């Protein structure tokens, strides 16, 4: 169809747009029902999210405005706006994995508007195959027959992308983010995939195949053990309790965190409330969301991180000039303190949610004592204002610091004087300590929280927290890695906040490895000269109680570096 339309055709284009939305939503509901039967209710909600995306009124209104003002056909206007949104989301780290969902909806809408058949179905040979694709969508994944499709490789996406989650639920191993796979893997190649370690072996040897079969058996036994500990308490073999909390990025992660036994939320990221929106979220919207989270974890704390804006996470609703070095620029607590119209409504929302729940505020990227003092003053001002206005809210909330810079660690004793708690963000702490961009693939081998400089800072923070009588936890990805969790316990940490899917594994390790062994590993790590020595010390000590090949993905398969998954139903996503 032509890109431009006549003035008298505009209303018809608007109707075509809405009719296409209704048709696409109907198709997505049908797919959701198929997934409900094949995988379960949690996985079917993936399509609920896509339906909400397809029905987004702000987005559709922008398409309609483009049709009216520019006399464009519905498909042309929709494509322009979808591409614009993809560009916005590509710059937001936490929304990149949603791009596959957005792209799937875009294809469905354009196919519907242009009268083409949909993006499915797939034609799969009557033999066992591994599908290698540039990008996988949940809609495509659910159509696959697991009797014939025994593995998936996608150049785009992450292990937490909807397509990967759905594939795992269907028992189909999926390897995401395998850059260059289409060019490197010719059709007909025999592959060995290990999704847990993220590796692909082309044309594996007989020895590699035998080792993979043994690893499948080991992991199957581990899965049975993990199922048994989901409802068990997080205690060491000697009976000391460890608080295991969950990290929550998005609303759909609440239910898995509860189901996996999280004892509250140690890191509630709030950036999704801003990213991709044309306007800032209201105080009421935020208060309602924070109450929802707190209600899901009665009797447990929920630690809300204030907007961690900047770097790669400035939303559409927030206009700012480009910076030459954004990760060392105007971001996180600096933005919050400089932009009260962004920070104060969030503080008020937190205070309202904390009226009858244990809700706490955490400040990201603190480097100055004054930043904490200013934030605390704002919290008190807003609490007083709410009280005067007769609004039901807490008179105060605990305010803590996310320790993620060497500067914060070096002045931790002073920060402890103005903070109610510390929580270590090992991702940025590693990035800033090692001067390594954690998103730079060329430097991936240098980005490790097991470097002695990080281990020593972690040890220092525990000691300072103990002396100041304030709790110190770890909420970075390091806590979600089983071997690293043993190191943290050995260093003296009693609270870890981890990604919901890894809660059972971390809990099992806590219940299995004796505290003296963990302390021995930590003592060796503190004397180590390199990350390799730290890793070896951990494997040596933990290996006396657990097969470390189950915990350390890098030791899963010998030989060449790769990307991956196991036979159906046996691998982690």
Angle at 275 (CA atoms; ends 269, 280), nearest 5 degrees: 100
Nearest alpha carbon to residue 100 among 144, 164, 28, 20? 164
SS3 105: helix
- Cβ(246)–Cβ(266) below 8 Å: yes
Q: Report the 3 state secondary structure along 272-284.
A: HHCCCCCCCCCHH
Write the CA distances from 57 to 283, 387, 497, integer angstroms. Answer: 21, 36, 36
SS3 67: helix
Pairing of β 495-498 and β 199-202:
unpaired
Under 8 Å between Cβ of 342 and 319: no
Q: Are 156 and 167 in contact (CB under 8 A)?
A: no
SS3 content of the chain, % helix, strand, coil (to 5): 55, 10, 35
Distance from C-alpha of 53 to C-alpha of 107, rounded to nearest angstrom: 13
Is residue 475 part of the annotated active site? The answer reads: yes
Which of 169, 175, 173 has the alpha carbon at shortest distance from 42?
169
Q: Are 484 and 539 in contact (CB under 8 A)?
A: no
C-alpha 504/C-alpha 493 separation (Å) is 18
Return the structure tokens found at 120: 């499915």
Q: Which of 168, 451, 459, 475 is catalytic?
A: 475
Helix (H/G/I), strand (E/B), else coil: 303: strand
Long-range contacts of 314-317 (CB under 8 A, 24+ apart): 314/91, 315/92, 315/271, 315/274, 315/275, 315/276, 315/277, 316/88, 316/275, 316/276, 316/277, 316/278, 317/274, 317/277, 317/278, 317/279, 317/280
Under 8 Å CB-to-CB from 250, ≥6 apart: which residues?
A: 94, 272
Give the separation between CA 459 and CA 439, rounded to whole angstroms.
26
> Among the options 162, 168, 451, 459, which is catalytic?
162
Q: What residues are annotated to the active site?
A: 162, 475
């Amino acid at each position: 169809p032509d890109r431009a339309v006549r003035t008298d055709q505009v209303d018809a284009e608007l109707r075509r747009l809405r009719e296409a939305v209704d048709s696409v939503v109907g198709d997505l509901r049908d797919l959701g029902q198929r997934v409900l039967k094949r995988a379960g209710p949690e996985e079917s909600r993936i399509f609920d999210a896509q339906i909400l995306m397809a029905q987004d009124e702000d987005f559709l209104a922008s398409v309609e405005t483009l049709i009216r003002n520019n006399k464009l056909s519905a498909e042309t206007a929709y494509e322009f706006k979808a591409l614009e949104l993809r560009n916005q989301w590509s710059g937001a780290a936490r929304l990149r994995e949603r791009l596959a969902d957005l792209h799937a909806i875009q294809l469905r809408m354009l196919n519907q508007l242009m009268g083409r058949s949909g993006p499915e179905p797939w034609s799969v040979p009557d033999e066992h195959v591994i599908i290698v694709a540039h990008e996988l969508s949940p809609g495509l994944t659910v159509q696959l027959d697991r009797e014939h499709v025994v593995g998936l490789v996608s150049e785009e996406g992450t292990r937490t992308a909807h397509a990967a989650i759905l594939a795992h639920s269907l028992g189909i191993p999926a390897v995401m983010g395998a850059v260059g796979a289409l060019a490197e893997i010719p059709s007909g190649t025999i592959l060995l995939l290990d999704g847990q370690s993220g590796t692909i072996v082309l044309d594996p040897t007989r020895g590699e195949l035998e080792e993979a079969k043994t690893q499948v058996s080991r992991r199957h036994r581990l899965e049975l053990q993990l199922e048994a500990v989901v409802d068990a308490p997080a205690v060491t073999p000697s009976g000391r309790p460890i608080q295991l909390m969950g990290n929550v990025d998005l609303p759909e992660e609440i239910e898995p965190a509860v189901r996996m036994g999280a004892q509250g939320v140690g890191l509630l990221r709030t950036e999704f409330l801003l990213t991709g929106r044309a306007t800032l979220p209201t105080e009421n919207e935020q208060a309602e969301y924070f109450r929802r989270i707190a209600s899901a974890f009665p009797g447990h704390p929920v630690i809300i991180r204030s907007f961690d804006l900047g770097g790669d996470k400035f939303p559409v609703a927030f206009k700012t000039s480009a910076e030459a070095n954004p990760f060392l620029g105007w971001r996180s607590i600096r933005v919050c303190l400089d932009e009260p119209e962004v920070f104060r409504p969030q503080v008020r929302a937190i205070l309202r949610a904390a009226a009858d729940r244990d809700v706490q505020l955490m400040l990201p990227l603190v480097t100055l004592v004054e930043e904490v003092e200013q934030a605390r003053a704002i919290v008190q001002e807003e609490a007083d204002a709410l009280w005067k206005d007769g609004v039901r809210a807490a008179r105060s909330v605990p305010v803590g610091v996310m320790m993620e810079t060497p500067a914060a660690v070096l002045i931790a004793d002073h920060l402890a004087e103005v903070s109610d708690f510390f929580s270590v963000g090992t991702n940025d702490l590693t990035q800033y300590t090692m001067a390594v961009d954690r998103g730079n693939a060329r430097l991936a081998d240098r980005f490790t929280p097991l470097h002695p400089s990080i281990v020593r800072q972690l040890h220092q923070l525990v000691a300072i927290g103990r002396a100041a009588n304030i709790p110190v936890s770890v909420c970075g990805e390091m806590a979600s890695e089983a071997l690293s969790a043993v190191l943290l316990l050995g260093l003296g940490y009693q609270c870890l906040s981890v990604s919901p899917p890894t809660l059972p594994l971390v809990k099992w390790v806590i219940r299995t490895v004796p505290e003296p062994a963990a302390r021995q590993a930590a003592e060796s790590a503190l004397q180590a000269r390199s990350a390799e020595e730290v890793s070896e010390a951990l494997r040596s000590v933990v290996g006396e109680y657990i097969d470390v090949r189950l915990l350390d993905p890098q030791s899963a398969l010998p030989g060449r570096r790769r990307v991956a998954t196991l036979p159906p139903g046996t691998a982690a996503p």
